[in-house]
Amino acid sequence: MNADLFGHDSLPARELLAPGVVLLRGFALADEAALARALAEIMLQAPLRHMVTPGGFTMSVAMTNCGDLGWVSDRHGYRYDAIDPDSGRPWPALPELLRTLAVTAATEAGFAGFRPDACLLNCYRPGARMTLHQDRNERDFEQPIVSVSLGLPATFLLGGMTRGERSARVPLQHGDVLVWGGPARLRFHGVLALKPGRHPLFGEQRINLTFRCAD
């Protein structure tokens, strides 16, 4: 076994899960402390909130955004907006550290030329989950999505092109980065209810960052 390709848990550092879905295990670990500081600052400027779906349900995942555009949901639908509806101000800027991490991960996964202009922060407390969905509010589906997992582990559901298809279960750990694009860009996906636990740096939660090119 090659120690450079395989981590201590013997799983490959880079794995093609499906065409267009690349898991980069531990890719964000080196930046964990700086990421924690950057995220705390963003959440001070734009606090986490539970958005409401167009159908009137309050989401169990708490969210906020940074970047030129932020993803928002309310009774009118899903959209990207330059203004935080809770404050009436622009979203916090995308920190260079986050942009570099996302662009480097995309390139590493075979998606050179990623231009992230939006970063959605998802915060899961125990019991919170994300039902199966497609990400289709972005303008250009040629651009990938880069997803960074921090804190408690979770089970990601990798579905097919239709909602009814069986999903694969992908365990995601602190520091893992999932790059999602090309033929996979419109696949259904979700996250199972978070199990209780405590992470040394992030506490009793999982934070997921999804970097997108929305505009």
User: Binding to Fe ion by residue 138, rule CB under 5 A?
Assistant: no
User: Binding to Fe ion by residue 117, rule CB under 5 A?
Assistant: no
Looking at the DSSP assignment, which residues form a beta bridge with residue 189?
A: 133, 158
Strand 14-18 and strand 21-24: the pairing is: antiparallel
Residue 180, binding choice from Fe ion, ligand MD6, none, Cβ under 5 to 8 Å by partner class: ligand MD6
Please state the closest distance from residue 189 (CB atom) to Fe ion, in A: 6
Task: Give the count of beta carbons closer than 10 Å to the beta carbon of residue 62.
Answer: 19
User: Binding to Fe ion by residue 135, rule CB under 5 A?
Assistant: yes
CB nearer to ligand MD6: pick between 8 and 169? 169
Q: Which residue is nearest to Fe ion (CB)?
A: 135
Contact 28, 179 (CB under 8 A): no
Please state the closest distance from residue 42 (CB atom) to ligand MD6, in A: 16
Q: How many residues does the chain have?
A: 215
User: Binding to ligand MD6 by residue 80, rule CB under 6 A?
Assistant: no
CB nearer to Fe ion: pick between 135 and 176? 135
Measured in whole angstroms, the distance separating CA 70 from the mean position of its chain's CA atoms is: 13
User: Binding to ligand MD6 by residue 65, rule CB under 6 A?
Assistant: no
Q: For residue 63, give every residue at least 6 positions away whose Cβ sits within 8 Å of its Cβ, in sequence order, or none.
A: 48, 49, 50, 51, 71, 120, 121, 122, 123
Contact 214, 139 (CB under 8 A): yes
User: Binding to ligand MD6 by residue 145, rule CB under 6 A?
Assistant: yes
Residue 145, binding choice from ligand MD6, Fe ion, none, Cβ under 5 to 8 Å by partner class: ligand MD6
Q: List residues binding Fe ion (CB under 5 A).
A: 135
